[in-house]
Structures are given as C-alpha cells and as structure tokens.
Copies of this chain bind each other. A is one copy, B any other.
Amino acid sequence: MTSPGRPTLGVGLIGYAFMGAAHSHAWRTAPRFFDLALEPRLAVLAGRNPAAVTEAAGRLGWAGTETDWRRVIERDDVDLVDVCTPGDTHAEIAIAALEAGKHVLCEKPLANSVAEAEAMADAAAKAAARGVRSMVGFTYRRVPAIGLARQLVAEGRLGQIRHVRAQYLQDWIADPAAPMSWRLEKDKAGSGALGDIGAHIVDLTQYITGQALRGVSAMLETFVEERPLPASTGKLGGVGGAETGRVTVDDAAVFLGRFSGGALGTFEATRFALGRKNAIRIEVNGSAGSLAFDFEDMNVLHFFDGSDPAETAGFRRIVVTEPGHPYVGAWWPAGHGLGYEHGFTHQVVDLVTAIAKDEDPAPSFADGLQIQRVLDAVERSAAANSAFTEIQES
C-alpha cells in the first residue's frame, strides 16, 4: 500500500526470464492488496544484455538497470537482492549479497550441489546474526490450499501421518524432437526433473506434514539421451535443428522415502507424463484424516475427516477461497479463484513481513540446504542400485 510515511524496501532483481517476470509481478502487486509494513520499491533489474534488460525493465516496471549483478549489490538504494538466475550462479550472488548486508530472496533449488548450499546456509546464518534475512523461493507453499493442508495437519486433524504420495508431472519434453536447453545440461541445471520439480514436492510434503525425510531409495531415468540443438528459441526451448546435443540430466526421478515421524513416502517427478502440464499432486493419509491436492485444480483441497460417521463421510472438496483461508482475505469474495502467480505475491508478503518484524523468514537457506541433501541422497541411491540412503541431518 503506497503511503508517504511508510519506509521503503529497495529491491534489485537479477534475471528477467520466466521467474523474473513472476517476481516482478509479485513485487508490484503485493502492496496493492496487502497492508505491508515496508513499501517495496522496484529499484533495479540486472541482466547481461543491455538492450534486453532495458526493454525488460520498462515492461516489468523497474526504475533502473544494471548489466553486472555485482553493481546491484553495491547500490545504496538496494536493500534486498532477488536472485532469479540459473542454479549454478546462486551461491556466488547470494553469498556476496548477504556479505554486503543485503537481504536475499533466492529461487529454488537453492544451489546445484550440497557443498554450494552449505556455503550459502553458512553465509545466511552469519548474516542473520547481523539482522540480514534470507529466504529460498519455494512458492508453492503459498498456495492457499497448501497452507490449509499444513494447518489441518498441525491441528491434528490427520492424526499420525502414515502415507505421503507426491507427484510432479509435466510433459514438455515428452516429444523426443523437443530441442536441447540449459535445463537439460548437468553443469548448468545441476539435475533434471529431480531438482527442477522434484525439489518442490520434497519441500511441499515436508512443509505440510511437518516431518523431514530421513532416507530414500531411488531410480533416475533419461528416456531421450540425445536431442536436436535449438535452431530457434522459445520459452521452453523453441524448435530443434539438424545437430544434436547430449542430455546429461534425468528426465524422471522416482523414489521412496521415510519421514521422521514414520510415514512412508512415494515420489515421482517427470517431464514425460504426456497430458499433464503442471500437475503437482499430493496426498497424505493419517490415522484421523486424509488430504489430496492437485495443482491443476489449485483452489481446491480435498479433506477426509475420519471422525465423520461412515455413512456421511467422504472427501470434502473444499474450495479454498473463504476469507478465513490463508492469504485469501486480501483478495476476492468466496468462489473467485486465484492463479499461479499469487504464490509469488504471497511470498513477497511473508518475506517483507518477516524483514519488518526482524524475524527469519521461512523457508530459510538451511531449509534449502536440507532439500539439497534430499536431492543428493536421491542421486546417490540411484547410483547405488537404489539402496536406501540416509539423508544427512543438520
């Protein structure tokens, strides 16, 4: 909410592709619907191509531009650095920003390796001691239905959790003719479906259940090992040409897991589930109730209350648009659903609120590190004949 007397929070955003556009929208929109203690100011957008970054800044609403991310960190009008670059650059940028006393919001996954993530968590802990805050961008937590799911578990409505099943299903490279992209190269992307989308369901299931994964048994698969190099580019890789390149990441990751509270988990992340575009499906079964969610119907949470009499018990299709639902009161009347980008706006709200209250926001870099360790254990298990592999605890 723009107001003359309100202190501002100068934001510098690094990266302006898909995630950059989503974050820009969130920074612009959050103060229009939520009563924030700090007014975000879209100070500067950074990118290497001068013409492109200037165009993007105008389109996305940023006051200035930089072509070197180091300049962003040096600017006095920047209080917070928002990192939306590919994963191989997260560690360097985020650590430099934290050391320079800037709050940091870093896209997920936190890093491309456990070692990088450890360094980042370390830097975040030191910065927090000086009042500098950091957060990793697992935005799906901010979908109201997910928030409600966590609440129900926390209130004991599910009892003891026994089963967690989670799938993140996409199909954008199901066609072998879909061309190469940086997301299919291990040195840039770290991993394939595992880190890109599998990380989300690891985070979501831990967030909802309040339990941490303790170990996994996994398989990884690359169905299409060679793809055409892109002849032209598009949002997700454009059209392929005659030359080919080698896919060095997983196309799909499947794993079993055990949670700290005893629940059994099954996980599947794939870009080869033809017909599923962005289906994040999560089910939790407890001794007292059950939950089911599918991002393809994101404003709905299904809840089975085991205390209902058998004759009138059934999964309740809760349309999560009531004023009492998480985040919803700031938006529209009941029944008027939210969309994908609202999660980013809610993320800004939670981050700004934590900074204003001088509290550490969640998920922290330590949380991001823990998820990195899960991904690492998945890779190690897959390499070790699927043997159960424990996840290092902090």
User: Which residues of A pack against B, CB within 8 Å?
Assistant: 1-3, 18, 21-22, 24-25, 28-29, 31-33, 58-61, 148, 152, 157, 162-163, 165, 167, 169-172, 174-176, 217-219, 221, 223, 235-236, 252, 254-256, 258, 262, 264, 266, 268, 270, 272-279, 283, 285-290, 295-300, 302-306, 308, 310-319, 321-325, 332-342, 385-388
Contact B322 A314 (CB under 8 A): no
Contact B274 A223 (CB under 8 A): no
Contact A333 B18 (CB under 8 A): yes
- A255 to chain B minimum Cβ distance, whole angstroms, is 7
Instruction: Give CA–CA (A163, B314) in the complex, Å.
Output: 23
Chain B residue with Cβ nearest A286: B274
Q: List 14 A-B contacts (CB under 8 A).
A: A2-B58, A2-B59, A18-B333, A25-B32, A32-B61, A162-B270, A219-B256, A254-B266, A274-B285, A275-B290, A302-B314, A311-B325, A312-B318, A338-B340
With contacts A254-B256, A339-B338 taken as known, whether A219 is within 8 angstroms of B333 at the C-beta atoms is: no
Instruction: Give CA–CA (A290, B272) in the complex, Å.
Output: 10
- A144 to chain B minimum Cβ distance, whole angstroms, is 11
Contact B275 A285 (CB under 8 A): yes
Q: B162, B322, B335, B385: which contacts A170 (Cβ < 8 A)?
A: B335
For residue A288, which residues in chain B have a CB less than 8 angstroms away from its CB?
274
Contact B318 A316 (CB under 8 A): no
Contact B29 A25 (CB under 8 A): yes
- A264 to chain B minimum Cβ distance, whole angstroms, is 5
Q: B217, B258, B275, B286: which contacts A306 (Cβ < 8 A)?
A: B275
Instruction: Give CA–CA (A58, B58) in the complex, Å.
Output: 22
For residue A176, which residues in chain B have a CB less than 8 angstroms away from its CB?
287
- A387 to chain B minimum Cβ distance, whole angstroms, is 5
With contacts A25-B29, A32-B59, A386-B387 taken as known, whether A324 is within 8 angstroms of B340 at the C-beta atoms is: no
Chain B residue with Cβ nearest A321: B277
Chain B residue with Cβ nearest A165: B268
Instruction: Give CA–CA (A123, B277) in the complex, Å.
Output: 47
For residue A290, which residues in chain B have a CB less than 8 angstroms away from its CB?
273-276
Instruction: Give CA–CA (A29, B339) in the complex, Å.
Output: 14
Instruction: Give CA–CA (A218, B266) in the complex, Å.
Output: 11
For residue A310, which residues in chain B have a CB less than 8 angstroms away from its CB?
322-324
- Shortest 4 CB-CB contacts between residues of A and residues of B: A277-B335, A278-B335, A275-B304, A339-B339
With contacts A162-B223, A256-B219, A339-B337 taken as known, whether A316 is within 8 angstroms of B325 at the C-beta atoms is: no
Instruction: Give CA–CA (A174, B385) in the complex, Å.
Output: 32
Chain B residue with Cβ nearest A4: B58
Contact B340 A252 (CB under 8 A): no
With contacts A32-B24, A219-B258, A264-B219 taken as known, whether A279 is within 8 angstroms of B58 at the C-beta atoms is: no
Contact A322 B316 (CB under 8 A): no
Contact A313 B308 (CB under 8 A): no
Contact A340 B332 (CB under 8 A): yes
Chain B residue with Cβ nearest A25: B32
Contact B285 A273 (CB under 8 A): yes
For residue A300, which residues in chain B have a CB less than 8 angstroms away from its CB?
296-297
Chain B residue with Cβ nearest A268: B266
Instruction: Give CA–CA (A171, B254) in the complex, Å.
Output: 25
For residue A313, which residues in chain B have a CB less than 8 angstroms away from its CB?
275, 316, 318
Q: B61, B272, B341, B385: which contacts A2 (Cβ < 8 A)?
A: B61
For residue A171, which residues in chain B have a CB less than 8 angstroms away from its CB?
285
